[in-house]
Amino acid sequence: MIEFSAAEIARITGGRLTGDPSLTPSHVTTDSREARAGSLYVAKPGEHADGHSFVGQAFAAGAILALCEREVTDDDGRVYPSIVVPDAVLAMGKLAKEAVRRIREARSARGEAFTVVGITGSAGKTTTKDLLAGIFRSTPEGSAAAASTIAPQGSYNGEVGVPLTVFTADESTRYLVIEMGATGIGHIQYLADLVKPDIGVVLVVGTAHAGEFGGVENIAKAKGELVEALAPEGTAVFNADDPRVRAMEPRTRAQKAFFTANPGTAVEYAARGTVVAALGAHTREDGCPAFGLQIDDEPPVHVQSRLIGSHHTGNLLAAAAAAHAAGVPLGVIAASLSSQGPASRWRMERTDRPDGVTVINDAYNANPESMRAALQTLADLGRGRRTWAVLGAMLELGDESIAAHTAVGTLAVRLNIDRLVVVGREARPLYISAVNEGSWGNECSFVEDIDEAFALLERELAPGDLVLVKSSNGVGLRHLGDRIAWAAQPQPTDPAGTELT
């Protein structure tokens, strides 16, 4: 973390300091349970709880300073050392922006490079972020120091998560990879202003959060804010296979790079910027993508991914394009992409149980595009096996929700998925459409909740079955996926051999 004294934090955020101005935090957290010696605890109001209620716990765990929207006192009436600001989240952003500026300035003064990459899109952000960080860490520069590549934990991609990621960087950081999510116009612009990316990657424009955005065209407008924020010497990386992403090209002053799995598109865009292409893209019997990775006219290098699903071809290409823009050689890129498996949980996470059941837990998030991709992968992998799709609701789709769930139910039947289990009332249109499409009897089941789904699966799963679990994060089916994956595992025992419960 870049060091800031309490006095500096107050000046940068425009806050009012109560306490010792020389206090210098070494860690930032918004969760009192993660506070430790030297922490700056950010007491932000939350949807379900107010961080100000946990200031005492944070200080008991070792925090030395709080960033608050009001003073908080201990049991003796003394005000905790704090900086009081009108908006704690915006104050975090101001501090993160200054941290990035100082890192860039310090490294420039030493003649050292510093590259910030921003990644956005309706799907694939976390996977692409993980792949790109893996590439950077596989380079000689990336392996030089543990802190040389910084990327978010999980999906830290909003106005809180991006600053928290920045706060883990310091002057030794060579690459800073930032995942950028949004639920409205202006959100990406705000995040880009904080970190000033050198490279901006736009993956896809889908219907995730369409209800909050007010339509898919507004989603495209918001995602394009990333390439608008780039300086002329930066690089904008576009998915040339997505028409809405392609349409963003005139919105940037930066250099351009395009990634595509379509040979015809690669030829078309060759004169407009760098082209990163997948030649002969296909999925192997294990469901993992493979292709020849070609950048402009360089000889292609084979990539054999360990990720599951053909839809990851685009994520692999996006990571390759961003790495190439950052100066990483093609051979290093290809070797790293071929060596990496899933790095974040609940994203096509495969577990092969001892009893022969395979569980693919892809329930970190869901939208119509990722649902289609996951079901297609299930169908491709399931040849010769009984396939199960355990599906929950896709949230935040607004007026498109019923139609989107209906389309997924129809697709599941048309892909000949053997068993469909629909969980929860919000997903019921999915079940109804499958029944209307001709999935009757025990081929299609509706259950009210996760416990009922688990009971059904525990009762009916058989050796050799292949199970996909997918829903939006808020539905919580990722926890059902974990329960199914571990249901047949041996129970842990104590040293005496007694089963533990």
What's the confidence (pLDDT) of residue 78?
Answer: 96
242-270 pLDDT, tens digit each? 999 999 999 999 999 999 999 999 999 99
DSSP 8-state symbol, 499: B
Domain identity same for 154 and 270: yes
What's the confidence (pLDDT) of residue 498?
Answer: 35
CB 458: neighbour CB atoms within 10 A?
Answer: 12
Integer Cα distance of 426 and 394 in angstroms: 8
Report yes or no on 501 lying in a domain. Answer: no
Domain identity same for 423 and 333: no
Give the CA radius of gyration of the chain: 24
Q: Measured at the alpha carbon of residue 348, what is the angle toward residues 347 and 351, in degrees to the nearest 5?
A: 115
- For 398-405, the CB contacts below 8 A with 24+ separation are 398/210, 398/211, 398/212, 398/214, 399/211, 400/207, 400/210, 400/211, 401/211, 401/426, 401/429, 402/429, 404/207, 404/368, 405/429, 405/430, 405/433
| 3-class SS letters over 45-69 | ECCCCEHHHHHHHHHHCCCCEEEEC
Mean predicted lDDT score pLDDT of the chain? 92
Can you tell me the mean pLDDT for 20-32? 97
| pLDDT surpassing 80 at residue 386 | yes
Domain identity same for 274 and 172: yes
| 3-class SS letters over 74-119 | CCCCCECCEEECCCHHHHHHHHHHHHHHHHHHHHHHCCCCCEEEEE
- Domain assignment of residue 127, given as a range: 90-339
| Among 56, 86, 116, residue at a domain's last position | 86
- For residue 453, the domain's CATH number is 3.90.190.20
Place of tokens 């389309």: 407
Interaxial angle between packed helices 312-325 and 125-138, expressed in degrees from 0 to 180 and rounded to the nearest 10: 40
Structure tokens that stand for 68 in this block? 């608050």
Provide the domain count of the chain.
3
Domain identity same for 47 and 189: no
Q: Which residues contact 70 (CB under 8 A, 6 or more apart)?
A: 52, 84
Domain identity same for 80 and 194: no
pTM exceeding 0.85 = yes
Domain identity same for 97 and 74: no
285-309 pLDDT, tens digit each? 889 999 999 999 999 999 999 999 9
- For residue 41, the domain's CATH number is 3.40.1390.10
Report yes or no on 497 lying in a domain. Answer: no
Contact in structure between 308 and 377 (CB atoms under 8 Å): yes
Can you tell me the mean pLDDT for 188-216? 87
What's the confidence (pLDDT) of residue 143?
Answer: 61
| Among 339, 367, 394, residue at a domain's last position | 339
Can you tell me the mean pLDDT for 152-178? 93
Domain identity same for 78 and 208: no
Domain identity same for 475 and 410: yes
Coil/strand/helix, residue 288: coil
Best CA proximity match to 38, nearest among 144, 167, 201, 207: 167
Structure tokens that stand for 45 in this block? 């109001």
Domain identity same for 364 and 476: yes
Integer Cα distance of 26 and 47 in angstroms: 27
Q: Measured at the alpha carbon of residue 225, what is the angle toward residues 221 and 229, in degrees to the nearest 5?
A: 160
307-339 pLDDT, tens digit each? 999 999 999 999 999 999 999 999 999 999 999
Task: Classify the C-alpha dihedral 221-225-226-232 as positive or negative.
Answer: positive
